[in-house]
Amino acid sequence: MRAESVPEPTLRRLPSYYHYLVRLREKGQEMISAAQIGEDLGVHHTQVRKDLAFTGSQGRPKVGHHVADLVASIETFLNWNNATDAFLVGAGHLGTALLGYAGFERAGVKIVAAFDTRPSIIGKKIRGVSVLPLEKLPDLARRMHISIGILTVPAEAAQDVADLMIASGIQAIWNFAPTVPDVPNGVIVENVALYSSLGVLSHKLAVHRRAALAASSGPKPA
């Protein structure tokens, strides 16, 4: 019960620290301060400390944190040290990009099979992963104890596929379709909603331009 009380923003920032720290480690740097992490990643330094505290890692005054320890702490905390097997449904454009992307395996997810309904790709391998007919999903998911499903089908098919995944014992869905699937209590859904960052981008850009325009055509006094 206690462990669930980790702020979601913290869970979203940790992967970002993780990547940063891995690159640092590759460069041979041994120690790092929270202040430096914060500056490079655009996060307040006290925030960085609080986030890292959740992973159980301790820093030392004057020298900071041990990079390798931090990496290990985050891995353990997020359960990224032994990747969980996942199925991907919808081996289209986006699905193909995700299949075989090395980054995910490091982030706790290993795509072991893909499923689709399109006859022309069934039986083929995409970036080393076999594409199987959707009908085989329920049986295989149960036998292989798959708990993560990645959803990259068109919006119209998303709900049906989500239902099928859940009926097959899948507990967590990583959804890339622009709809929110309706799932029973207890099933975890992470909606990626790529276009939602376009909401922020477009609006900020519009405001930015409006401000630039206002500034050029005579700034208003306070």
Ligand X SMILES: NC(=O)c1ccc[n+]([C@@H]2O[C@H](COP(=O)([O-])OP(=O)(O)OC[C@H]3O[C@@H](n4cnc5c(N)ncnc54)[C@H](O)[C@@H]3O)[C@@H](O)[C@H]2O)c1
Partner DNA sequence: AATATATCAGGAACTCTGTCTCGATAAAAA
Partner DNA sequence: TTTTTATCGAGACAGAGTTCCTGATATATT
Q: Which of 29, 46, 58, 197 binds a second copy (CB under 8 A)?
A: 197
Count Cβ atoms below 10 Å from residue 220 Cβ, excluding itself: 6
Helix ranges (DSSP H) in the chain = 8-26, 34-41, 45-54, 67-78, 93-98, 102-106, 137-143, 155-167, 194-216
Of 121, 139, 138, the closest CA to residue 130 belongs to: 121
Per-residue burial over 81-113, b = 16 or more CB atoms within 10 Å of its CB, e = otherwise: eebeebbbbbbeebbbebbeeeebebbbbebeb
Residue 125 interacting with ligand X (CB under 6 A): no
Which residues lie across from 59 on neighbouring strands?
Answer: none
Would the CA dihedral through 130, 136, 142, 146 be positive or negative?
positive
Residue 87 interacting with a second copy (CB under 8 A): no
Stretch that binds DNA, among 45-53, 88-96, 151-159, 169-177 (CB under 7 A): 45-53
Residue 157 interacting with ligand X (CB under 6 A): yes
Q: How many residues bind a second copy (CB under 8 A)?
A: 65
Q: 61 or 186: whose CB is closer to a second copy?
A: 186
Minimum CB–partner distance for residue 210 and a second copy (Å): 7
Taking CB within 5 to 8 Å according to partner kind, which of a second copy, ligand X, DNA, none is near residue 136? none
Length of the chain: 222
Of 139, 74, 155, the closest CA to residue 107 belongs to: 74
Q: Which of 27, 60, 93, 143 binds a second copy (CB under 8 A)?
A: 93
Q: Where do contacts with a second copy occur on this chain (CB under 8 A)?
A: 1, 3-4, 6, 8, 11-16, 19-20, 23, 40-42, 77-80, 84, 93-94, 96-97, 100-101, 103-104, 107-109, 147-148, 155, 171-172, 174, 178-180, 182, 186, 188, 190, 192-208, 210-211
Q: Where do contacts with DNA occur on this chain (CB under 7 A)?
A: 7-10, 33-36, 43-47, 49-50, 52-53, 58-65
